Structure 1
């Protein structure tokens, strides 16, 4: 089956004018393109209400579920942006979802685990310092100033790379409007 025409600019803006539809698309993209309607509902409601999924009220969930079920997902399905299986309660990115990438930004890539990287760097540095201090061969032959320089260079280069990645693309994985509304990824 040939691919449908690209969405017109008017269609794109009509689809993306609703934050609820944008949040649904962000979540689908981040989850690999497929999710249960219940999971989608919870995350969209949490983002809208600036809370966690665990802190949502039944009313908040219900309000989002009804609008996704009756309005937003059918509209996205009609435009072939999602495939919405009401009976199975499953939502998948559709054939034309890629047409929106330029408007939504890249959210599907994994974010580099900087926190774990820096913890590992501290761990390795601590082991090296201990080995030099205890004069464990061959580390005992390394002068303290050389070791300090190596550790400082490792942290300095890491910090520069981290800074440049952040400046170029922000936090990959969470769209700016979600970071503003939510403050963290779920």
Structure 2
């Protein structure tokens, strides 16, 4: 193993960035990610490689306590292994990229921007759905009141026609 590979292995051991990436970026339908370099869809976690936008091997420093290698808990180590510095990439592009920067970094940053935006939209949509569901549940509880009480059949039929009229008026 050359010294560059040792640095990369050391930085990977300092933080489990792959599982952190999948927690923050569940993918499309939970099973599809897109390569940050070529845009190819990657189906299943086993086909996704998680790559650093800014390669840690360019900044890796080993820390020793006596003669023993210890975890590097510096801010740089934490930042480079954070989910903000990782993107999905296919095997072919990861081999080609290696620890290069330049256009690869621009594409990775663009892909990360898309991931963050889609995550925001996903959370916003879930809030809207949750809020709508709560609103509909509240309205249904109010609308069900006449049917819970011991009203006459005529009152219940009138309410059914009233509800149907309102629904038809609102949606047609």
Q: TM-score, normalised by structure 1?
A: 0.29
Bigger strand fraction: 2
Instruction: Determine which structure has more spread, i.e. the larger CA radius of gyration.
Output: 2
